[in-house]
Structure 1
Amino acid sequence: MKKVITLIFVFAFISLAQSHEFWLQPSKYRYNVGETMTIDFKVGENFTGESWDMNRHKVEQVQLVHATGIKKMEGAVQKTKSKNLTTVLDKPGTYVIGLESNFAYLELEAEKFNEYLKEDGMENILELRKKENKLDKSSREFYKRYAKVMVQAGPVVDDTYKKRLGFRYEIMPLANPYTLKPGDYLDCRVLWENKPAPHTLVKVWNYVGNRTFLQNIYTENDGTIRFPISTSGPWMVSAVKMIPSESDGADYQSQWASLVFGITK
């Protein structure tokens, strides 16, 4: 049985100061073949985030994945407050769009950092700080984003959802969300360096009207979670992995993964 530890009801006006999810938000989730898709780069929570500051952050790669191949899209990214990526979905089927950012830098006071570790399930780093007598020390952190969104063009679904993007930290759906309807279940697998990530806290968000529901679920030994598709609308699955920094200039480095899709049936 999957380990669901909490189900939290969250109002959409939660303070963005405490929010840190990053996701790709499309103009919609189902398109006609030949329609134009736009994507906003968002940071925050509850699908009501603010625009990602592209003066502070950089995109390392963007991939547009379809059954017919992969298209590199970094050159199409716009440093605007909306419509950061625009493309025509000229072929039928499922598309996966993936973005990898560069490492950005963050400093936090000790108390805030410790709370952040608890909130996001990074007990390994909390235990390391205890062992090294650093619980009262501020933190220096490098962090990177790996974000994916899935959309559908036309009625015919395919196996594009199975394609790995090669991210160091990646969330893989084990079924095509565009075959699902409310009442079904979806399994996902969290991968760290292409291997299953067991006992990882995963957050599953779904937005209904002006309210968001959040499920906190720990992965099984095989890196998988299962959750019910309770409603139609947008969904996000997210997780974070933190390790001691592999580079000078910070104490830790974190990798954030997200997967967004829409249930439209």
Structure 2
Amino acid sequence: MRIIALILTLISAPAAAHEFWIEPTAYQVEPDGSLEADIVNGQEFAGVKLAYLPQRFENFALFAGNQTTRVTGRPGDTPALQQDPVAEGLNIAAYQASNATVDYENWEKFQSFVDHKDFGDVRSVHDARSLPLEDFKEVYSRYAKTLIGVGNSAGADRRVGLETEIVALTNPYTDALDNGFQVQVYYRNDVRANTQVEVFEKGAQDEVVISLYQTDENGIATFPVRPGYSYMVDAVVLREPSDALAQQFGAVWETLWANLTFAVPQ
């Protein structure tokens, strides 16, 4: 049974609030091992594994230190990531999905999503823009990262050029974790202060605990982690789409989803 603990507020996620993440087969591998990871779309840290399909992403790359390489594969490959490490140490896989859309039949469904992600008073902006309260569209994009330790797992996460991005300030495979795990959330070149961060903790039996945190004035959130668990961190930007994007997709709102996964060794 999945255990859902919502800290700070008690809410239920709407059907549209699906997370999108990279989930490695193993979060730590030997230097001569292979990096393997699924691209997953779902909820509560469980979902559908997606194949390697170039038409579905804008960028898919690996990083280690100052080195970078593209993720290559054959259409239909599962897991979507099957590649040698960039180097020994902390390897970062990053994936930017192509734009997609979701339809809202009524305002109540969108308001549920707004409340869940703590976007504030969106309704007044919606009304001021003279937007419909029924049958409107949102366009969204996904920016997912994962941390895989190779060999000694040494190194640090860093920005890799995503429009919105979560950067781990802690190395889960080498750093002391007694004082918690820290992430910093970015949108373009700015940190996202006072922003909700959703943390999913998954145990060996696939039990999941979901907790909500707020970033501080420096865009940093700190949360406790436990050995033997894997983690997914999620933060979402809501904005008005550009004229070009609105025309292309018929959307009146745009969301950008940042995601980071990692595990804590036993």
Q: Normalised by the shorter chain, which TM-score bucket?
A: 0.7 to 0.9
Alignment correspondent of 2:41: 43
Distance 1:52 1:167 in 2: 21
- Helix, strand or coil at the partner of 1:79: coil
Distance 1:185 1:69 in 2: 28
Q: Indicate how the Cα distance of structure 1 residues 127 and 226 shifts in structure 2: closer, same or farther if over 3 A, else same.
A: farther
Does 2:135 correspond to 1:138? yes
Distance 2:199 2:55 in 1: 25
Alignment correspondent of 1:103: 99
Which amino acid in the other structure matches residue 157 of structure 1?
A: A
Does 2:182 correspond to 1:187? yes
Distance 2:146 2:251 in 1: 30
Distance 1:243 1:237 in 2: 20
1:227 to 208, 223, 227: 223
Deviation track 1:6-35 (CA, whole Å, cap 9, x = no partner) reads 16899xxx9994650000011010101111
Contact 1:238 / 1:257 at 8 angstroms: preserved in 2? yes
Alignment correspondent of 1:21: 19
Residue ranges of structure 1 left out of the alignment (5+ in a row): none
Alignment correspondent of 2:212: 216
- What is the alpha-carbon root mean square deviation over aligned residues? 2.8
Q: Where in structure 2 are the equivalents of 1:1-265 lying within 5 Å?
A: 6=7, 17=15, 19-52=17-50, 58-73=56-71, 75-76=72-73, 78-80=75-77, 82-89=78-85, 91-110=87-106, 111-132=108-129, 134=131, 136-159=133-156, 161=157, 163-180=158-175, 183-208=178-203, 209-246=205-242, 247=245, 248=247, 249-265=250-266
Deviation track 1:47-100 (CA, whole Å, cap 9, x = no partner) reads 221124777971111110012510022x426435x3111012263111000001
Structure 1 window deviating more from structure 2 (229-238 vs 251-260): it is 229-238
Q: Indicate how the Cα distance of structure 1 residues 83 and 6 shifts in structure 2: closer, same or farther if over 3 A, else same.
A: same
Which amino acid in the other structure matches residue 102 of structure 2?
A: L
- Helix, strand or coil at the partner of 1:179: coil
Q: Indicate how the Cα distance of structure 1 residues 90 and 241 shifts in structure 2: closer, same or farther if over 3 A, else same.
A: closer
Distance 2:70 2:162 in 1: 14
Deviation track 1:105-133 (CA, whole Å, cap 9, x = no partner) reads 21112221111111112225344125456
Which amino acid in the other structure matches residue 185 of structure 1?
A: G
Contact 1:175 / 1:186 at 8 angstroms: preserved in 2? yes
- Helix, strand or coil at the partner of 1:129: helix
Contact 1:201 / 1:219 at 8 angstroms: preserved in 2? yes
TM-score (normalizing by structure 1) = 0.86
Distance 1:9 1:76 in 2: 42
- Helix, strand or coil at the partner of 1:112: helix
Residue ranges of structure 2 left out of the alignment (5+ in a row): 1-5
Contact 2:100 / 2:140 at 8 angstroms: preserved in 1? yes
- Helix, strand or coil at the partner of 1:145: strand
Contact 2:104 / 2:134 at 8 angstroms: preserved in 1? no
Which amino acid in the other structure matches residue 42 of structure 1?
A: V
Distance 2:86 2:23 in 1: 20
Distance 1:18 1:142 in 2: 12
TM-score (normalizing by structure 2) = 0.85
Which amino acid in the other structure matches residue 113 of structure 2?
A: Y
Q: Indicate how the Cα distance of structure 1 residues 16 and 86 shifts in structure 2: closer, same or farther if over 3 A, else same.
A: farther
Structure 1 window deviating more from structure 2 (123-132 vs 253-262): it is 123-132
Deviation track 1:164-209 (CA, whole Å, cap 9, x = no partner) reads 1111100011121212466441111110012111121110111012
Contact 2:153 / 2:173 at 8 angstroms: preserved in 1? no
